[in-house]
Every structure is written in structure tokens, then in C-alpha cells.
Amino acid sequence: MKPGVPRGWTVRGELPKVDVGTAGEDELDLLDEDLVQIVDGTRRYIIDVGWYPAGARNGRFVCMIVRDDDWDAPIQQIETAAYSAVRQWLKQAVEEIKERLGQPGEFSTRVGLFLKATRRSVGRRARKASVAPLPSSPTVSSPVDTRETLSAGSRVSSSITSPIRVQPALNAP
């Protein structure tokens, strides 16, 4: 079984469907410590599935989600001998990572708000940055004039207008 993943993700390996109760030695050899590894498009999260001890009839699947290559502290780990449980877990793990990564402009309860700033050049000297406002939150816009002094007395001027959003704290008294 090769799990379905979003575009840009990498899948290495395959989950062999082996009935360990009736499997012969050749089939048990398919159960290895490195069965499936899925890496998200940002290369921040890894979903890893292996069989421990490799090739052993009394082994089990060890399934992990690892963040930032921190293999000593996986953010999720399960152990099971059931093939169906691993298939279900793989689907859930992919969905969890998709939720953790989020999309620009989307709110995730686990991480927070993902902002996508857009920049447009206006001539050579000025830039304008904008961020879409949050629904039902007050927006305050204030132009800011910044001036920098460069060598030989030349000056660069830019005017930046950025909406500022005020939101109450979640646990405010």
C-alpha cells in the first residue's frame, strides 16, 4: 500500500500486506525497519513506519511523526501488529501534518494564523506591503515614512502602509 499524499510530498517505500500469522520466511523478510517514509513539501515533518524487530513473526509496526529531524522526541508514536491500524494511522498522520502546516491566510487551532504578505513595487524607491484583514477585527492603517541615510549623502525614502489588527487575548480576564 502506498498512501495518497499532497502534491510536493515525497513517499519512499511501501507498506507490504503480510499476514504474520501465516507468512512464510520470504514474506516475513518484507517486514523491515524501513518500510515507509513520507516527507512533507517543507521537509519539516517526516512520517515513518517500520517493523521491529525486522523480519520477526512476533514483531510490531512502529509508526512515528518526527518534526525537524528530532528522532529522539517524535511528536506522535504508535506501536501495533495490525496492518489495518497502520493504514488508518497513516491517513490520519497525513491529515494532521497538513493541518499543522496550514495554508497562507488560513487559521489553524494548533498553530495560529498563517499570513501571506504581498509586496508590490511602486517605482524604485517605494514599496507597499499589505495583509488581508481578519474578519470582525478592528483595522487601523497608518502610513509610516522611513528615511535612511546612505553613504555620500544620498537618501532613500519609502512609505509603507500596513493594516494593524487588534484581537482580544483568548484567555483574557
Encode pLDDT of 125-144 as tens digits: 444 444 444 454 444 444 44
Whether 114 has a pLDDT exceeding 70, the answer reads no
Q: How confident is the model at residue 61 (pLDDT cuts 50, 70, 90)?
A: very high
Question: Which residue has better confidence, 1 or 11?
Answer: 11
Q: How confident is the model at residue 154 (pLDDT cuts 50, 70, 90)?
A: very low
* Same domain for 86 and 35: yes
* Same domain for 123 and 73: no
The proportion of the chain whose per-residue pLDDT surpasses 90, expressed as a percent, equals: 49
66 by DSSP, 3-state: which?
A: strand
Total-model pTM: 0.59
Structural domain span for residue 81: 10-101
What percent of the residues of the chain are helix, what percent strand, and what percent coil, each to the nearest 5? 15, 40, 45
In a domain, 30, yes or no: yes
The per-residue pLDDT for 102 is 80
Mean pLDDT of the residues in the chain: 74
What pLDDT digit, counting tens, does each position of 64-90 carry?
999 999 999 999 999 999 999 999 999
Nearest to 158 by CA among 139, 143, 169, 137: 143
Alpha carbons 66 and 73: distance in angstroms, whole number: 7
- Report DSSP state, residue 27: H
Domains of the chain: total = 2
Q: How confident is the model at residue 36 (pLDDT cuts 50, 70, 90)?
A: very high
* Same domain for 147 and 90: no
* Same domain for 53 and 18: yes
Which of 50, 71, 101 is at the close of a domain? 101
